[in-house]
Structure 1
Amino acid sequence: MGAALSACAASQGSRAFAQTNEETLGAIAQKSGITFGTSIAADTMEIPAQAALYLHQARIFTVDWALIFGNLRPEANLFLPGDAEAILAFADTGNLPVHGHALAWNESRPEWLMSLSKAGKQKALDRHIDETVGYFAGRLPSWNVVNEPFWPGHGLDGGFRDGPWLQAFGQDYVSRAFKRAQAADPKARLVLNEAMAEVWSEDGAKIRAGLLKLVDRLQHDGVRLDAVGLQGHLDPARPYDDAGFADFLHQLGERKINIMITELDVDDSSLPDDIPTRDAAVAARYRDFLKAVLAVPAVKTVITWQLADSASWYDHAAREADPDAKRLPRPLPFDAAFRPKPAADAIAEALRNRRI
């Protein structure tokens, strides 16, 4: 599958972009000291033109859902790495690194896992990290070790997100996961990934404060933490303060860790139906956010959550809710026909104008 797709993708990619002298987003970013990439799923590659776009534009891939606990281990004694293997094979054709996502996430909780005792859940996490990181050692250079540790809405101490791993170890599951990941692949870069830190609300403030405390605790305890990932699912309908968020990024940078924007897209559900108007508003949100973020020297990576609208989780949700939906989401830099949109120009502009 990987070889056949790569040949097709390479040929279609060259044809698709031969008519323009525009640099790719990956190349523009590289000149500004940023690694630009996208998430990718196994089914992303089933459309040759889409596969070509991803291979052409990105300089790093993030595994979308293929390595999530419930996908890898739908049953206690199953381990299904086939989707991730397909992504790795495809990435190899472009010599692109692949970022693993995600080892410990309390929202991926298959029924068999939740039926275990506390001791059983402890063994399950240890086994999962040891076996998964060990299996991909040397092939996945980095991992989101813990994903979304905070959710104030659960009302727990410290604002932590409830779930099997918190139930098994308490807040110490975070440090345990990092230590076991490092032991399983000492060369892999280890990342703490979080959502909604850019939202200027009470919950967003609690998440930002919790993250700073967690980073301090990990560093104090000698736990290796190479980067913090901040997802960046931007929603113009939610309150935001790009300058304030940049100040928060500076605080993280002062802790001598790199910062990644790991799941960037724009939720356009609150924007007008008119496509040119909506595309312009989405582009403006990308431009303003990235202008602020890229001024922070610690920011080294920007990854969009998929690259073309047709592959977006927003698109999938809209079609699932209404198969005949007329108003489909347009949250990404390329449209469903894989053509660049104003968002692509906005991202390129922000990358070109980076000043640190």
Structure 2
Amino acid sequence: MVHNLTRRGLLAGACALAWDARAASGTDDGKAIADIPSLGSLAAKRGVLFGAAIDHTTLTDPRLAALYRHQTRIVTTDTALKLGSLRPQRPEVVDYWEADALIDLATRSGLAVRGHTLAWNAWQPDWVERLTRREAAYWLERHIEETVGRYAGRLHSWDVVNEPLWPDDNLPGGLRGGPWYAKLGPDYIRQAFTIAHRADPKVKLVLNEAGSEWKKSFTSGERQQAHLMRLIDDLQHSGIRLDAVGLECHYFPNFEFDPKGFSGLIGSIADRKLDVYLTEIDVNDTEFPADLATRDRLVAEKYAMLLRPALTNPAVKVVQTWELTDGQTWLQEQAKGSRRPRPLPFDADCRPKAAYHAIAAAFGT
């Protein structure tokens, strides 16, 4: 295990000051943030935890940190707990400094934390591809045991398996190809949940999936819904503990939405005594008009479109955006020219946008 104690110590100290200073200060920025009604508080009145993914920028930006503290009640680690972040070069060399800093700060601020993610067939370090079957089984188990065990008793939930489905790969059950599937077959999913449960019997275990919430998506949403329900049934019939299903809800151009189909999907999951988390909501506005007011209005409409049917079902316990402000979004990688994406409820200066008001209205109805 590798730790840069100097970097980690300095960062943790700076982060603690960042998260505490603005909430206690009388600065204009702190006052402005405190004056914005909290989405976390509005959601709580409906029995829902509202939150967002959190990344390293929150560790050093006091205003962003204050916004998270005021607006959210739960946060998900963005990349800090992914295998590629923890063990990028060699499996035996692991560095938890960023994850530790994020979790420490969130915990000190009274925010629940979701760990993301333990087993994923995408965004893996090169060394995973080179493993034999026997080595893959060993490192999947060791990684989950060590990572879940390190934070046992501190996290709200874990995305144990992330995006296991991708029907376009034409594998049995609509499963996604990738290193874990290639080495261990579909049983890697059951193994991951079994190991995570053993490492922390009390943390909530989540199957997190993309595309199933849409009538049309990259993976043909209607087909993926059927695959998702079969996978859930298979896990439950096998005696695997599963507490919730995460529906990511990323919107991309040309996706199609059917409110009745979405409600039906949530209902089917709820019928299996599982909670539903909307885990990664954002709106890709690449194809929307350039005019900011028009674009923001269309983004807000997508949030309202998703949340209206979702919040009618009490099985929906968590609603999260994938980051909180436009300045953090992963969609910046797809930006065209000088046009910056605006997919989230707050702009890059932490100011609420139309999407914020759409979310607030959904929680308030």
* TM-score, normalised by the number of residues in structure 2: 0.91
**Gap runs ≥5 in structure 1:** none
1:12/1:52 contact within 8 Å kept:
no
Give the C-alpha shift of residue 244 in structure 1.
1.3
Give the C-alpha shift of residue 203 in structure 1.
2.1
Alpha-carbon spacing, 1:236–1:109, altered in 2? closer, same or farther (3 Å): closer
What is the aligned-residue RMSD (CA, Å)? Answer: 1.6
Give the C-alpha shift of residue 246 in structure 1.
1.2
| Alignment partner of 1:28 is 2:42 | yes
* Secondary structure of the structure 1 residue equivalent to 2:317: strand
Q: Take 1:307 and 1:107, find their aligned partners in 2: how far apart are those partners? A: 24
Cα deviation code 1:127-157 (max 9, x no counterpart): 1111111111112231000000001121111
Q: Percent identity?
A: 44
Of residues 47-56 and 95-104 in structure 1, the stretch that sits farther from structure 2 once superposed is 47-56
| Alignment partner of 1:327 is 2:339 | yes
Task: Decide which of 25, 39, 51 is 1:37's aligned counterpart.
Answer: 51
2:23/2:30 contact within 8 Å kept:
no
Cα deviation code 1:257-310 (max 9, x no counterpart): 000000011111111000000000111111121001111221111011000000
Q: Give the equivalent residue in structure 2 for 1:341.
A: 353
Aligned residues: 348
Q: Give the equivalent residue in structure 1 for 2:16.
A: 3
Equivalent AA in structure 2 for residue 267 of structure 1 = N
Equivalent AA in structure 2 for residue 282 of structure 1 = V
| Alignment partner of 1:83 is 2:98 | yes
Alpha-carbon spacing, 1:50–1:22, altered in 2? closer, same or farther (3 Å): closer
* Secondary structure of the structure 2 residue equivalent to 1:252: helix
Equivalent AA in structure 1 for residue 286 of structure 2 = S
Give the C-alpha shift of residue 168 in structure 1.
2.4
Q: Give the equivalent residue in structure 2 for 1:154.
A: 169
Q: Give the equivalent residue in structure 2 for 1:46.
A: 60
Q: Give the equivalent residue in structure 1 for 2:82.
A: 68
* Secondary structure of the structure 2 residue equivalent to 1:265: strand
Q: Take 1:282 and 1:88, find their aligned partners in 2: how far apart are those partners? A: 30
Q: Take 2:30 and 2:116, find their aligned partners in 1: how far apart are those partners? A: 30
Q: Take 2:80 and 2:36, find their aligned partners in 1: how far apart are those partners? A: 32
Q: Give the equivalent residue in structure 2 for 1:258.
A: 275
Cα deviation code 1:313-340 (max 9, x no counterpart): 012442xxx6xx3211000000011100
Alpha-carbon spacing, 1:178–1:122, altered in 2? closer, same or farther (3 Å): same
Q: Give the equivalent residue in structure 1 for 2:123.
A: 108
* Secondary structure of the structure 2 residue equivalent to 1:310: coil
Of residues 228-237 and 15-24 in structure 1, the stretch that sits farther from structure 2 once superposed is 15-24
Counterparts of residues 311-322 of structure 1 (less than 5 Å):
311-318=328-335
1:6/1:93 contact within 8 Å kept:
no
Q: Take 1:288 and 1:117, find their aligned partners in 2: how far apart are those partners? A: 46
Counterparts of residues 131-142 of structure 1 (less than 5 Å):
131-142=146-157
1:259/1:298 contact within 8 Å kept:
yes
Of residues 158-167 and 341-350 in structure 1, the stretch that sits farther from structure 2 once superposed is 158-167
Q: Take 1:244 and 1:116, find their aligned partners in 2: how far apart are those partners? A: 41
Q: Take 2:25 and 2:179, find their aligned partners in 1: how far apart are those partners? A: 44
Cα deviation code 1:43-74 (max 9, x no counterpart): 23322111111111000010000000111111
**Gap runs ≥5 in structure 2:** 1-11
Q: Take 1:235 and 1:96, find their aligned partners in 2: how far apart are those partners? A: 29
Q: Take 2:200 and 2:26, find their aligned partners in 1: how far apart are those partners? A: 34
Give the C-alpha shift of residue 121 in structure 1.
1.0
Give the C-alpha shift of residue 10 in structure 1.
2.3
Equivalent AA in structure 1 for residue 228 of structure 2 = L
1:61/1:98 contact within 8 Å kept:
yes
Equivalent AA in structure 2 for residue 42 of structure 1 = H
1:12/1:49 contact within 8 Å kept:
no
Q: Take 1:13 and 1:32, find their aligned partners in 2: how far apart are those partners? A: 31
Q: Give the equivalent residue in structure 2 for 1:280.
A: 297
